[in-house]
Structure 1
Amino acid sequence: MLDALRQPLESGQVVVARAQGLMRMPARFLLVLAANPCPCGRHGSRGGGCECRPSSVRRYRARLSGPLLDRVDLRVTVEPVTRAELTNPGVHGESTKAVAARVRAARERAAARYAGTPWQTNSEVPGHELRTRWPGSPGALGRAEEDMERGLLTARGLDRVLRVAWTLADLAGHDRPTADDVDGALELRTGVRRGAALTGGRP
Structure 2
Amino acid sequence: MSSGSGTACTCTSAQRRGYTAKLSGPLLDRIDIQVQVERPRSATMALDPDGEDSQTVLHRVRQARQRQGERLSPWGIATNARAPMSLLTSALRLPGHTTAPLDACLDRAALSLRGYARTLRLAWTLADLSARQAPESDDLDAAMQLRQTAEDRS
Say which SS state the counterpart of residue 116 (structure 1) adopts: helix
Q: Normalized against structure 2, the TM-score is what?
A: 0.83
* Structure whose CA Rg is larger: 1
Distance 1:68 1:121 in 2: 22
* Corresponding residue for residue 127 of structure 2: 169
Taking structure 1 as reference, are residues 61 and 42 closer, same or farther at Cα in structure 2, changes over 3 Å only?
farther
Distance 1:160 1:190 in 2: 12
* Corresponding residue for residue 80 of structure 1: 39
Is 1:91 aligned with 2:48? Answer: yes
Q: Where in structure 1 are there 5+ consecutive unaligned residues?
A: 1-35, 44-49, 194-203
Verify the 8 A CA contact 1:114 1:120 in the aligned structure 2: yes
Higher relative contact order, structure no. (Cα contacts within 8 Å, ≥ 6 residues apart): 2
* Corresponding residue for residue 30 of structure 1: none
Q: Where in structure 2 are there 5+ consecutive unaligned residues?
A: none
Distance 2:42 2:52 in 1: 20
Verify the 8 A CA contact 1:137 1:176 in the aligned structure 2: no
Name the structure with the higher strand share. Answer: 1
Q: Normalized against structure 1, the TM-score is what?
A: 0.64
Distance 2:88 2:118 in 1: 10
Alpha-carbon deviation of 1:140?
0.9
One-letter amino acid of the counterpart of residue 73, structure 1: D
Aligned length: 149
Distance 1:71 1:51 in 2: 25
Taking structure 1 as reference, are residues 52 and 139 closer, same or farther at Cα in structure 2, changes over 3 Å only?
closer
Out of 97, 107, 111, which is 1:153 matched to?
A: 111
* Corresponding residue for residue 64 of structure 1: 23
One-letter amino acid of the counterpart of residue 19, structure 2: Y
| 1:12-161 map, 5 Å | 36=1, 42-43=8-9, 50=10, 52=12, 54=14, 56-82=15-41, 84-85=43-44, 89-92=46-49, 93-161=51-119
* Corresponding residue for residue 4 of structure 1: none
One-letter amino acid of the counterpart of residue 90, structure 2: T
Distance 1:73 1:53 in 2: 23
Out of 141, 145, 149, which is 1:183 matched to?
A: 141
- Quote the RMSD (CA, aligned, Å): 2.6
% identity of equivalent residues: 35
Alpha-carbon deviation of 1:53?
7.5
Say which SS state the counterpart of residue 134 (structure 1) adopts: coil
Alpha-carbon deviation of 1:51?
5.4
